[in-house]
Chain A
Amino acid sequence: MATMKALVCRECGKEYPTKAIHVCEMCFGPLEVKYNYEEIKKNVSRTKIQDGPHSIWRYADLLPVEGPTFLGLHAGMTPLVRAKNLGAHLGLDELYIKNDTVNHPTLSFKDRVVAVAITRARELGFETIACASTGNLANSVAAHAAAAGMRCYVFIPGDLEAAKVLGNLIYKPNVVEIEGNYDDVNRLCSEIAGEHGWAFVNINIRPYYAEGSKTLAFETVEQLGWRTPDQVVIPMASGSLLTKIWKGLHEMKYVGLIDEVRTKINGAQAEGCSPISTAFKAGRDFFKPVKPKTIAKSLAIGNPADGYYALKATAESKGSMDMVTDDEVVEGIKLLAQTEGIFAETAGGVTIGVLQKLVKNGTIKKGDLTVAYITGNGLKTQEAVIDAVGRPVRIQPSLVAFEKTFKMGKNGGGDS
């Protein structure tokens, strides 16, 4: 377990105890966990990690929990897939897909952050867990709350994909659908969190919750044989995932697990909701909130809380940002499925679309060791591609009908 010293305001440096708070009382800046790195350096090693559990908890020395871990025992350690076919198609020699479409138990990267958040919430004595969500987070919170036997409230926008709504109801939490978009949900939840003593994983537990995303960086480096990638492409909603992958890489260097970080961080958004990418392209270090309009609903945050830090991390790493149209999102989903056999949700289409753009415009070069983060499963966003994948061929149950349809002779034909 990592030793936490305090929560510290990222803006003014004021320190707070490691409780369920997320905002500096003085300047409203976000609070972040301050670790005792001297202690961590003594404890952590490659061998200890490799001998640890096959889950995010192998990196427990770098995560903000104190007690024993009882949740998320199978979260993380998802495949890092060498994407030879997609790489060849795009013109990249060494492309990998970090495949969180198969994360346990709810098929998105949110299973990482929720495992950390609920573990910490329990340590702090909470019995009710809640979240504001674009879908994947709610699914994960509901599932983990069921497993932990905790009361649960999930708040979602009114226009979510059917599978993401069902993916809450099945665990029987209180599902609250808000007539509005995610930014409305988020504002309301911030106000509810102030009135009720619940653990909102992405509000008052956020300093701990967000740290769980670092495991995507840790795993990538370990799975690459303790090397950092040259380029990563990361989808952005609030921007938190991107900033935490950047932090995770540097933390590994700081505690001596790797010698150098040479990774360029690239952020991906959909055109219909691209406040962060738009700011980056305009050379601004601040963003203008937007009203989202895109099929990539999991990324549809018009007022991205970590946008400012995502811009900073990307600039520090000398990386880039870009955005793609909804049509390009669908093409990206199909391309990944048809080259690598991985069915991603819309956010994955955004990532692949932007990866393609960055290769075309020369930002990512042929020889760059590149990792694309695919954070959610396509079965949850079927509406996005249902009109773009054709229909099955329907025939009578006869050999003749089959061979006629596929124009095969008796002994001829192949698998065409």
Chain B
Amino acid sequence: MIKVRIPTPLRPLTKGQGEIETKAASVLEMIEALNTAYPGMKDRLCDDTGELRRFVNIYVNEEDIRFLKGKETSLKDGDEVSIVPAIAGGTSCRM
């Protein structure tokens, strides 16, 4: 099983659970599995083209998947995954 830590903004989908166990062989499969168990999850994590949203960070055993193989990063039994929103301040000159 893979242990997935769910950030606060996604907990309404998981009925408040902060940690979820699932089966998946890659990050991509994990997102699909989460979406099956908690419908709507994929829309929150990925944009219309299926790419991870700009402000979503995913870590496998503490390592940013962008240093691994991105969505294709493989997962094995016992791995821990964290989904963490980027903490940008954002700014605009649209007042």
Contacts and interface: CB of A to CB of B under 8 A. Distances in A.
Interface of A: 10-11, 22-32, 35, 37, 180, 183-184, 186-187, 190-191, 194-195, 202-203, 206-207, 209-210, 238, 240, 243-244, 246-247, 250-251, 254, 286, 288-289, 291, 303, 305-306, 308-309, 313, 316
Please provide the 6 A-B residue pairs with the shortest distance between their CB atoms, ordered closest to farther: A210-B89, A30-B90, A10-B90, A30-B88, A305-B88, A243-B91
A22 B10 CA distance: 13
A339 B40 CA distance: 59
A319 to B, nearest CB: 14
B75 to A, nearest CB: 18
A392 B1 CA distance: 63
A30 B56 CA distance: 11
Interface of B: 5, 7-10, 12, 18, 44-45, 53-57, 59, 62, 64, 66-67, 82, 84-93, 95
Most B Cβ at <10 Å: residue of A25, A240, A246, A306: A25
A25 B12 CA distance: 9
Contact of A303 (B12, B64, B85): B64
Contacts of B85: 22-23, 28, 190
B93 A247 contact: yes
A386 to B, nearest CB: 33
A243 B84 contact: no
Given A191-B84, A194-B18, A207-B89, A23 B55 contact: yes
B90 A29 contact: yes
B54 to A, nearest CB: 6
Contacts of A305: 86-89
A81 B62 CA distance: 44
Contacts of A187: 57, 59, 62, 82, 84
A23 B9 contact: yes
A291 B9 CA distance: 27
B66 A22 contact: no
A247 B86 contact: no
B90 A288 contact: no
25 contacts: A22-B85, A23-B85, A24-B9, A28-B45, A29-B90, A30-B87, A30-B88, A31-B90, A32-B91, A187-B57, A187-B82, A191-B84, A194-B7, A194-B18, A202-B87, A243-B90, A244-B91, A288-B66, A303-B86, A305-B87, A305-B89, A306-B88, A308-B88, A309-B88, A313-B91
